[in-house]
Amino acid sequence: MAGNSFGEIFRITTFGESHGKAIGVIIDGCPAGLSIDMDKIQYELDRRKPGQSAITTQRKESDTFEILSGVFEGKALGSPIAVTIKNEDQKSDDYGHLKDAYRPSHADFTYEMKYGTRDYRGGGRASARETAARVIAGAIAKQFITHSGIKISAYVSAVGKVKLDKNYQQLDLQQTDSNIVRCPDPEVADKMIALIQNTRAKGDTIGGVITCVIKGCPIGLGEPVFDKLHAELGKAMLSINAVHGFEYGSGFAGTEKYGSENNDAFYSTAEKKIATKTNFSGGIQGGISNGMDIYFNVAFKPVATIMQPQSSIDNQGHDIEVKGKGRHDPCVVPRAVPIVEAMAALVIADHLLRHRTTQL
Amino acid sequence: MAGNSFGEIFRITTFGESHGKAIGVIIDGCPAGLSIDMDKIQYELDRRKPGQSAITTQRKESDTFEILSGVFEGKALGSPIAVTIKNEDQKSDDYGHLKDAYRPSHADFTYEMKYGTRDYRGGGRASARETAARVIAGAIAKQFITHSGIKISAYVSAVGKVKLDKNYQQLDLQQTDSNIVRCPDPEVADKMIALIQNTRAKGDTIGGVITCVIKGCPIGLGEPVFDKLHAELGKAMLSINAVHGFEYGSGFAGTEKYGSENNDAFYSTAEKKIATKTNFSGGIQGGISNGMDIYFNVAFKPVATIMQPQSSIDNQGHDIEVKGKGRHDPCVVPRAVPIVEAMAALVIADHLLRHRTTQL
Amino acid sequence: MAGNSFGEIFRITTFGESHGKAIGVIIDGCPAGLSIDMDKIQYELDRRKPGQSAITTQRKESDTFEILSGVFEGKALGSPIAVTIKNEDQKSDDYGHLKDAYRPSHADFTYEMKYGTRDYRGGGRASARETAARVIAGAIAKQFITHSGIKISAYVSAVGKVKLDKNYQQLDLQQTDSNIVRCPDPEVADKMIALIQNTRAKGDTIGGVITCVIKGCPIGLGEPVFDKLHAELGKAMLSINAVHGFEYGSGFAGTEKYGSENNDAFYSTAEKKIATKTNFSGGIQGGISNGMDIYFNVAFKPVATIMQPQSSIDNQGHDIEVKGKGRHDPCVVPRAVPIVEAMAALVIADHLLRHRTTQL
Amino acid sequence: MAGNSFGEIFRITTFGESHGKAIGVIIDGCPAGLSIDMDKIQYELDRRKPGQSAITTQRKESDTFEILSGVFEGKALGSPIAVTIKNEDQKSDDYGHLKDAYRPSHADFTYEMKYGTRDYRGGGRASARETAARVIAGAIAKQFITHSGIKISAYVSAVGKVKLDKNYQQLDLQQTDSNIVRCPDPEVADKMIALIQNTRAKGDTIGGVITCVIKGCPIGLGEPVFDKLHAELGKAMLSINAVHGFEYGSGFAGTEKYGSENNDAFYSTAEKKIATKTNFSGGIQGGISNGMDIYFNVAFKPVATIMQPQSSIDNQGHDIEVKGKGRHDPCVVPRAVPIVEAMAALVIADHLLRHRTTQL
């Protein structure tokens, strides 16, 4: 049973290899009647696209999407929304030398072992180009969840050892896109940019962390005991290329704490709403949203393709040396911000719909 | 769409409230012909059960399981295996005072909001007692994956700020169960035990980390692009009560590294197998197991129930004071070790079967 | 991937072999807050139970059900509802002689081939006893759909060549349970009963047809293009033991008709509702309910177990003679009426919930 | 939860409205390594396409398919295979007059009620054009199941009251495509063709029956208790536009029979294989294939669009008269033969893969 679908009700299936004819996505279960704003989809794609700034890959990719079905006179029909992006700037020649090679920390070896075959051009299905399809679907999901007053904001909180020491409440998240690294603190952003440029100059790559905040989430989303809201968010994030960790609320730091420090006391607000004084629970208790802000961190490893020679082997087991050709990102997190938001939006959209079926 | 099932082919559905008649699990898709060793199921349940040592809750729970179906003459029939555990030591009186209360950082509030009702006795469906059903299913999954030579070993690697500074390769994992905190380093174990006892004496609780290692996993498990092996493991772990974080391979620490440091070089072993010199990938590349050891960390927050007075509110919005009654764990990680192993076994069992359908 | 679950949102999983410890069902996704009337469950079980009349098997089966979870203070919690029925009157000795035999038109041979093993006692998992679990779940589904004003009524419309020549609108469906064959026309019922008794006297069995009518179904249920309402009903019916055919609306007879005869003209009712003058569509157009009565026929083959000697082979390929022992139904349709209703109720309940997610 | 996907492991999702930009299908779970013969796909599409003969609609539709992903160097990669067909001959003007009308026995009314909106051009999503996507997927499924020696053959067995009185064993199924109505008996075919032509001349339409035979199916396919092989076939067939009935084996006729007549006696063949002397079970016992031929009948109602004036209403409830414009089929069964085969192939492909996970 293959794993190219995500979500139960608001459900997407992505397809496409990086150097095939097209990539794309089908969204099944998008509520009928939703107005689809094409500009908002393009806006999110532009945030993800290569070549957008000095610190991303300079590769150009087509990112002109086409909606083939499911939208009529600007509105969702309730039938599957199929969207494609053609692959155009396919420098397949860049990859011919890698046909038989297993690049370190790439998926070449595991794909070939699993499937007995692979499209070796540019990573094929394992390429991060697949995430463009997620961003399209996420942009539609965002338009749906906006109707429930939900807003998702991700930003870069660490590049290598350069880390934001403020939490999301101390930041103006409107500033995230004001700089090319997408860190809402301009001073830290500058340091991150410098580190990335320095890293690229060495032909190397560097990891980072993205923090994501979901505001306005209604109480009640999440389906215990397995599809807890944070478990679904965690899976969504871990399914993004290069992600190696996820934590929400007090996260790993919370493992060092006492219950008396970590518990969130309930109180009645002036508006007679129930809230918690602290929010170490990260807006989720028992796997269900409690109305407070949801926030989590996503850990990205350094990009595997580096411009330095590395020893490896080919599919005959012979020692070889590989070295990145072409145009690659020295750090993936600036471009991954819209991907994190997209996956979060897909989870929330799905759970908004799932929750509709909970009560009599 | 409710969330009480896990897995696609080796698929479990758990049921039961902590103070209802019984809890249990149905396992559908267990391969026919598998010999089921009852003692091995009981062994795992005993590792999870309350009252097993001085540092766990002293509550007694029945953990006598009964298999109702799906096993005939000691072997799996290929039909659903239904297993129940009756609830006996139900001190529902311990909870009557909490009928209208929302305990801090518990699921009382969110369950009541989501479902419009709840079984307030002992946490009901949100109780960690549910995990006994997972342990049963996991014990059967373990028996299945053993046929493929796979072995799963979890252990406690941190309690509060007391942390193991050795990685799993520097430890003798056979020692894990030699002490009551389930840390394979006896010296560190002693410190952990002391911290837990000290914490309990204060009426408080403390968090911790469990590390899990999967050895012998065949190459090829995991289903990109969404059901990557680590994404499935991550969801499995995050679905366990009190878990707030998951990382695999180089994890969050890897975000600080350069690609040239973090990449795993391939080489041919003396036996002409392909292996990597380092294993920062944690045995998974492109979401597919590569034959190296899989390892990951799971972050547990401190248990929410503390023996100290806490301010909260009731379902009328009135201020109240709550204080844990009954018998609770000062630290959940020693008893969570078999739960982590069980959930890991369920993921691996499911993916072994899913992988069977990959190639012509 | 095993097939013991049915439904997407209102989802059941049945378990149990006829001569194991128990059979049962888990219902996941039953809306929280639903009042569960135990008497109504028992009522439906009693309609299905063996030994209820002179024309059914005289075998006694326990049909005392127990709800283990998911219901608290008489209402559904929104968590899984697990229900069991213990197996008591297990005359396993009746079956010992069949351990190695493949009875004609039974599932003995195919189960052994598929699973490599089988519980040969009384049909094991293939026994019609499994349908008791469906009746329980269906009884709960009925209680849910009643809130939407939906009523399901099935009845026997043919036994062998004795057929009702009236359609459901010409009958008083309140009379269905007034006789032991469950045919609402008393005169035809008498003929059916006589045929069944005559058939039993010869040690033989006979087939029959059940017609089912669903009144009050709201417009809009059904999920094209694959989960059309009639496709889901068809699958539900075909999954019942001994069913060999399904037709709805004009059915097979409609294949002989012209479009000008078969089309249903729309009109506005006095209450300004939209209705059709005829209803050859069977209440479903384009796979979606249109508010008219839904009706369909279900074909049951004669029961395979007959009291006459039959030639067959054993699992060594040797010729043997088999002859039914024990107590079996000469005709299954009288007891299958509540099963047909149960499966229909499960489909409608599931689609009521699925439909909630359709529009913005 | 929308219903545009079919199959669990070999899983398809179709998309597209008849007059949108394109229709298409994603196949996820096609085994890696399968050689994909494009000509065989086109061959099946040509069997389905409009305008192929004097007795089908004379509408021309583009049926040039394009594979966007999942196939590399002629073989399946194991990733999703996305295929599109552009919509070209879109005479949307033919439908403008139907924007507000509810055509009798069409899906106009139910779609508008369910989704609150619809693409009224040519039936939109409810158009039979969607079945072209199924035929593509089925053509790939056929190529997969051929590796297991399975052959699927459907043919027209009735048009209106003109019926084949031979069963499939008395026919040469190689002759099916030798005439335009796809009935393997030339004499009966002529009568069917005459009836269809006569019906068209009257501006009317007529129903019919397709019989399908699956030879070479291995023993063991089908997943009790709900996903029995015939239940899955039944659902597959009932999901095809205009289908109102399904029966397999002895079907509805079997309801008139005695068990002693209907039971299939087992015997050992000369090759020491187990077979049955008769095959009223239709190759499936207990929901599992038994190695004998599988055969079933599918009932198609007459096409709803007729060239005669019919009374109906519009979406304001006003009386209107509608009359078919454009080019429509007087009888759908000749073109539905490849659709029936495609859906059967999809079921068998899925169950071949599902069965791989059954045993240890």
pLDDT (tens digit per residue) in B77-127: 999 999 999 998 655 566 677 788 999 999 999 999 999 999 998 889 999
- Residue D348, helix vs strand vs coil: helix
**Which residues of chain D lie closer than 8 angstroms to A70, CB-CB?**
15, 17, 20
- Angstroms from D103 CA to nearest CA on chain C: 8
The pLDDT value recorded for residue B223 is 98
**Which residues of chain C lie closer than 8 angstroms to B70, CB-CB?**
15, 17, 20
**Which residues of chain C lie closer than 8 angstroms to A145, CB-CB?**
none
- Section D2-18 average pLDDT: 97
Q: Which chains touch A (3 or more CB pairs under 8 A)?
A: B, C, D
Q: Which among C273, C324, C289, C163 has a CA at the least distance from the CA of C216?
A: C289
Read off the pLDDT band of C92 (50, 70, 90). low
Percent composition of chain A: helix, strand, coil (DSSP 3-state, to 5): 30, 25, 45
The pLDDT value recorded for residue D312 is 94
Which residue's structure tokens are 């059915």? C251
Q: Which of C79, C357, C360 sits opposite A357 (nearest CB)?
A: C357
Determine contact, residues A296/A248, Cβ cutoff 8 Å.
yes
pLDDT higher than 60, residue D101:
yes
Domain C5-355 sits in which CATH superfamily?
Chorismate synthase AroC (3.60.150.10)
Measured between alpha carbons, how far is B294 from B300 in angstroms, rounded to an integer?
20
A88-139, pLDDT tens digit by residue? 865 556 667 778 899 999 999 999 999 999 999 888 999 999 999 999 999 9
Q: Which of A21, A70, A115 sits opposite D32 (nearest CB)?
A: A115
Determine contact, residues A220/B110, Cβ cutoff 8 Å.
yes
**Which residues of chain B lie closer than 8 angstroms to D29, CB-CB?**
357
Contacts of D120 (CB under 8 A, 6+ apart): D95, D98, D99, D108
The pLDDT value recorded for residue B324 is 80
Other C-beta atoms lying within 10 Å of the C-beta of residue B186: 11
Contact of D4 with chain C, judged by CB distance below 8 Å, is answered with yes
Determine contact, residues B68/B86, Cβ cutoff 8 Å.
no
* Cα–chain center distance at C308: 27
Nearest CA in chain C to A226: C79
Beta strand ranges found along B222-338 (DSSP E): 243-248, 266-268, 274-276, 284-285, 288-289, 294-300, 310-314, 319-322
Contact of C204 with chain B, judged by CB distance below 8 Å, is answered with no
Other C-beta atoms lying within 10 Å of the C-beta of residue A330: 28
DSSP codes of every residue in B38-106: HHHHHHHHHHH-TTSSTTS--------EEE-SSEETTEE-SS-EEEEEE-----THHHHTTTTEE-TTS
A157-176, pLDDT tens digit by residue? 999 999 999 999 999 999 99
**Which residues of chain D lie closer than 8 angstroms to A82, CB-CB?**
15-16, 22, 24, 84
- Check CB contact under 8 Å for C115 and B1: no
- Angstroms from C33 CA to nearest CA on chain A: 6
Q: Which of A9, A32, A358 sits opposite C359 (nearest CB)?
A: A32
- Angstroms from C308 CA to nearest CA on chain B: 30
Read off the pLDDT band of A60 (50, 70, 90). confident
- Angstroms from B353 CA to nearest CA on chain D: 6
pLDDT higher than 60, residue A334:
yes
- Residue C353, helix vs strand vs coil: helix
**Which residues of chain A lie closer than 8 angstroms to B252, CB-CB?**
209, 244-245, 247, 252, 297, 299
The pLDDT value recorded for residue A54 is 87
Residues C145-179 as b or e (16 or more Cβ within 10 Å = b): beeeebebbbbbbbbbebbbeeebeebebeebeeb
Measured between alpha carbons, how far is residue B167 from residues A342, B177, B185, B188, B250 in Å? 35, 17, 11, 13, 12
Question: What does the block give as tokens for C296?
Answer: 């369909």
Comparing B310-319, C178-187, D38-47, the range with the smallest average pLDDT is B310-319
The pLDDT value recorded for residue D348 is 98
Read off the pLDDT band of C58 (50, 70, 90). confident
Read off the pLDDT band of C325 (50, 70, 90). confident
Measured between alpha carbons, how far is D337 from D155 in angstroms, rounded to an integer?
6
The pLDDT value recorded for residue D93 is 62
Measured between alpha carbons, how far is C119 from C296 in angstroms, rounded to an integer?
34
- Check CB contact under 8 Å for B357 and D32: no
Q: Which among B35, B72, B61 has a CA at the least distance from the CA of B335?
A: B61
Contact of B357 with chain D, judged by CB distance below 8 Å, is answered with yes
Q: Which of A2, A115, A255 sits opposite B158 (nearest CB)?
A: A255
A194-226, pLDDT tens digit by residue? 999 999 999 999 999 999 999 999 999 999 999
- Check CB contact under 8 Å for C257 and D206: yes
Q: Which of B32, B144, B356 sits opposite D356 (nearest CB)?
A: B356
The pLDDT value recorded for residue A89 is 61
Question: What does the block give as tokens for A262?
Answer: 């970590």
The pLDDT value recorded for residue D234 is 98
What residue ranges of chain B have pLDDT lower than 50? Answer: none
Comparing B270-279, B348-357, C85-94, C145-154, the range with the smallest average pLDDT is C85-94
- Sign, Cα dihedral of B171, B173, B179, B183: positive
- Mutation target for D interface from A8, A13, A65, A352: give the one with most D CBs within 10 A: A13
Q: Which amino acid is at C73?
A: E
**Which residues of chain B lie closer than 8 angstroms to A286, CB-CB?**
106-107, 110-111, 126
The pLDDT value recorded for residue C37 is 98
Contact of D71 with chain B, judged by CB distance below 8 Å, is answered with no
The pLDDT value recorded for residue D327 is 76
- Check CB contact under 8 Å for A360 and C29: no
Question: What does the block give as tokens for C28?
Answer: 């996941």
- Angstroms from B283 CA to nearest CA on chain C: 27
Question: What does the block give as tokens for B117?
Answer: 């009702």
Q: Which of D1, D257, D357 sits opposite C9 (nearest CB)?
A: D1
D60-69, pLDDT tens digit by residue? 777 899 999 9
The pLDDT value recorded for residue C98 is 77
- Section D185-206 average pLDDT: 97
Measured between alpha carbons, how far is D158 from C236 in angstroms, rounded to an integer?
27
- Angstroms from B83 CA to nearest CA on chain D: 19
- Check CB contact under 8 Å for D264 and C105: yes
* Cα–chain center distance at B198: 25
Contact of A239 with chain B, judged by CB distance below 8 Å, is answered with yes
The pLDDT value recorded for residue C59 is 80
Contact of A285 with chain B, judged by CB distance below 8 Å, is answered with yes
Nearest CA in chain D to A76: D117
Strongest mean pLDDT among C122-126, C238-242, D322-326: C238-242
Dihedral class, residue A33 (left if φ above 0, else alpha if ψ from -120 to 50, else beta): left
